[in-house]
Structure 1
């Protein structure tokens, strides 16, 4: 009986090995003559590919690993993780092919790991669902709506400046990351949900949980066997993630509930609802959530769909913009001559008006500030990495890209292509003078992605960055404390640092 049992075990093992061998042969037959012939790649082990290279990495070394690969190959390169071919795109030829196409709009498998956090909202969805959600939400970012949001940006900027002035004697060189994060969460919640967070204790809890969720997501991302929801739950990771997600989801759920009551008290005829005309009273103005609630009343979206979009926009709208603002302030502190130019331009446009009287057009006219922000977003893109799933066979640069391959777009490295941006680590705002920018391929610079799935909120983000920068420079001069070379980055959906980003604030002599 023992021999029979051992024989059965041996047959099972042989069967499994045969299946693995057949799959390996199929992979080599299907893919090896494609991207691995065209694009450079490192040694790939049978069955596991490049998996061993990343298994021991943490959040910091993962970011460093990506930069090392880009410097090593100096062009887009191929990898393999288990049976998944991966094309890492760091040059605009490949990026343009992917982002400009309507064929490659599906996010890769990596994004499914965010589903417990964000659901299937605008960031994650594809096909008809994505198209319908985009159609519903686009009016919420119309120019006339941005003009209304500007009031919120100005009010919150004034509060932040006052807080900085109050604390100047205690700490004139603060870590600006938590300060700016609080500001952007306040603004996104007031413009998106119509709720002021001054009295919401849950807001601090929300802010504190996001980086912890990101760490757990990256841990799972680097371990393909944990992509399976069953295994993730079996090993006890899901329960730990759920503990972090509960207060985050409760935060957005409660605010949706409050706004729904207010919406139905004030909007009698949903068919007459308009983002530009809705105005509840002096204290309650339009919020993006109203657009979703109106769509719900028209049966275009359900309650779960609203939660998905609110979770998505709360995360994306506060975290990515926060990163953009932090690094803009940081770079202003490192370039005091340019800082003075930005200030003088703003002062000239402002004239004898008050700071809160600046209009959207005034901010559009701040060309030096605009170039400064664009160069900051080149060096420090808020979203350093995006990824797509190849859903059908395609030809790129004369080579076949097979269905089910992943295409990772490393925006951080794309923006450092020396053929497009000579001396790429040098901060040079003249790269974005009209005569220089128009010579570049538009897909060489994509801080807000590009093509059909570009960022719906990019004008919102730029206006918010300009508003806070103008308010800070109106009151303070900035001096560098943290050095550029001392910053360590974390691999994440959003560009984050390990160490504090400190800037010295001193009052202007007006």
Structure 2
């Protein structure tokens, strides 16, 4: 008898839960928007019969193509809205009413906590303002030497493998991207010629660009680096797993489940790596007498004398990112937890992203020989004129290479899908969206929309000629997102990709082995191929 009473109570509770959500003001507003059939409680989750990363990708593409350009869905009472039309993307990404991130970013909080990717409100705005100076032009031009050194080292390693080699392009750029982002976090003033710096450099060999964070990846245990990369991939797996199972709560991620053990192990590896970076940078500043407070470095660059060396240690200067965080900690603006949050966030945002851009560029250049030859001719002419140097000036004078990279990022945007959470009603092109809705912005579908791109599946760098961009919808192409939560490091990433890709074309001819037409895609933190992808590298020998 008690069983039936409890069962009846449970059924009544579920019915109440369903009615209170679907027939609320929010539910009634969403009912006007088309979308797949949603069952009570589970909503649209029945569509995701294949819960693998590949299955998720295929199902989402089916949904966005079937219900173009907007559709709604439900998942365990969570209201979802898919958008892909540039008009709607512009409203969502530009609005302060939708600049919050909850689902699925909340599943990353065990790792990133309140880093820029997952933060919100006043704390987000304060930290973003604090870190923006790390991306000022005067800071960015300092990183070119690190990018050149690391890309040069990669080319040397590839050239040593033989005249012709066939490689899986996906892991090729992992080390170079990790080295460069570490260099960004803690730029080393290795250009300095003062006696003090020369003495320090001699005594402490890790003060160079290979160890810009105090860590030389070439001298670090290869297993540590391998484990770190695998830990990032494992967290991506955890993210997708929990997205498809929203009923799994944080307290359920225990050592007693396989997915819980995977997350616990990954977090241990990721935190140890971050702790080592921060510890080594603290040691660096202790040997220099300690870091100054943040307020001492907040003078504007407009008042800085550009005739002064940007590396001069005696002048006020903008700080690399980790030093900004450490100096803010000294002034009580941030605690150690906050430092770790931002270092974790930028390591994630600066490794997988750029390396995948480089990988897709390599694939597409191999398949499009005419474009490859034209871009190489541009790069070779420029490098010969500059004596082989690639500075800020040279990086800004590669228009066709830029077009090729942009077209690669159109076909394969790294952030193929981004999420926003509405905190107030928002008027889209044809519908009003209520507060409390998770909006899924499908960037890859906007990039391949035939209403905005002629022959969208074709690789055509000329799409990005100035005359062809002039009348295009500004939100039809969003490689770095847009609006108040756009990618803070896009200029840095853009420089890095151009620096590495220009060196690649200068050193190698590329020929296709696998085809992008047969490539299966999956998404977690970034858009990536489901399987290895092989390309032939033919070394260019110059006298």
TM-score by length of 2: 0.87
- 1:446 corresponds to which of 478, 501, 504: 478
Tell me, yes or no, if structure 1 residue 305 matches structure 2 residue 334.
Answer: no
Q: Which residues of structure 2 form unaligned runs of 5+?
A: 187-211, 302-309
Tell me by how many angstroms 1:234 deviates. Answer: 8.1
The answer to which of 443-452 and 338-347 deviates more is: 338-347
Deviations 1:417-448 (A, max 9, x none): 11011211011111111122121121111110
SS at match of 1:504: strand
Equivalent position of 2:514 in the other structure? 482
Equivalent position of 2:225 in the other structure? 203
Equivalent position of 1:3 in the other structure? none
Question: In 2, are the aligned partners of 1:225 and 1:231 still within 8 Å (CA)?
Answer: no
Q: Which is helix-richer, 1 or 2?
A: 1
SS at match of 1:387: strand
Question: In structure 2, what is the Cα distance between the partners aligned to 1:398 and 1:69?
Answer: 19
Question: In 2, are the aligned partners of 1:191 and 1:286 still within 8 Å (CA)?
Answer: no
Question: In structure 2, what is the Cα distance between the partners aligned to 1:427 and 1:243?
Answer: 41
Deviations 1:178-230 (A, max 9, x none): 1201110111112213223211222222112211221122112110111x112
Deviations 1:376-433 (A, max 9, x none): 1010001111101111223323433122111001111111111011211011111111
- 1:255 corresponds to which of 262, 277, 285: 277
The answer to which of 157-166 and 206-215 deviates more is: 206-215
- 2:262 corresponds to which of 220, 240, 250: 240
What is the correspondence of 1:92-491 to structure 2 with a 5 Å cutoff? 92-168=86-162, 172-193=165-186, 194-195=212-213, 196-201=216-221, 202-226=224-248, 228-233=249-254, 236=257, 237-266=259-288, 267=290, 269-270=292-293, 271-273=295-297, 287-355=320-388, 357-491=389-523
SS at match of 1:246: helix
- 1:72 corresponds to which of 55, 61, 66: 66
- 1:35 corresponds to which of 30, 33, 36: 30
Question: In 2, are the aligned partners of 1:393 and 1:403 still within 8 Å (CA)?
Answer: yes
SS at match of 2:525: coil
Question: In structure 1, what is the Cα distance between the partners aligned to 2:430 and 2:41?
Answer: 27
Question: In structure 1, what is the Cα distance between the partners aligned to 2:112 and 2:463?
Answer: 36
The answer to which of 315-324 and 62-71 deviates more is: 62-71
SS at match of 1:354: coil
Question: In structure 2, what is the Cα distance between the partners aligned to 1:264 and 1:127?
Answer: 34
Residues 296 and 32 (structure 1), Cα distance of their counterparts in 2 relative to 1, 3 Å cut:
closer
Tell me by how many angstroms 1:235 deviates. Answer: 5.5
SS at match of 2:536: strand
SS at match of 1:108: coil
TM-score by length of 1: 0.93
Question: In structure 2, what is the Cα distance between the partners aligned to 1:498 and 1:49?
Answer: 28
Question: In structure 1, what is the Cα distance between the partners aligned to 2:178 and 2:319?
Answer: 17
What is the correspondence of 1:490-509 to structure 2 with a 5 Å cutoff? 490-509=522-541
Question: In 1, are the aligned partners of 2:83 and 2:442 still within 8 Å (CA)?
Answer: yes
Question: In structure 1, what is the Cα distance between the partners aligned to 2:279 and 2:383?
Answer: 40
Equivalent position of 1:46 in the other structure? 40
Residues 337 and 81 (structure 1), Cα distance of their counterparts in 2 relative to 1, 3 Å cut:
same
Question: In 1, are the aligned partners of 2:375 and 2:401 still within 8 Å (CA)?
Answer: yes
Question: In 1, are the aligned partners of 2:383 and 2:390 still within 8 Å (CA)?
Answer: yes
Q: Which residues of structure 1 form unaligned runs of 5+?
A: 1-5
Residues 381 and 268 (structure 1), Cα distance of their counterparts in 2 relative to 1, 3 Å cut:
closer
Question: In structure 1, what is the Cα distance between the partners aligned to 2:451 and 2:97?
Answer: 28
SS at match of 1:87: strand
Residues 268 and 122 (structure 1), Cα distance of their counterparts in 2 relative to 1, 3 Å cut:
closer
Question: In structure 1, what is the Cα distance between the partners aligned to 2:514 and 2:64?
Answer: 26
Question: In 2, are the aligned partners of 1:279 and 1:286 still within 8 Å (CA)?
Answer: no
Residues 269 and 404 (structure 1), Cα distance of their counterparts in 2 relative to 1, 3 Å cut:
closer
Question: In structure 2, what is the Cα distance between the partners aligned to 1:265 and 1:415?
Answer: 50
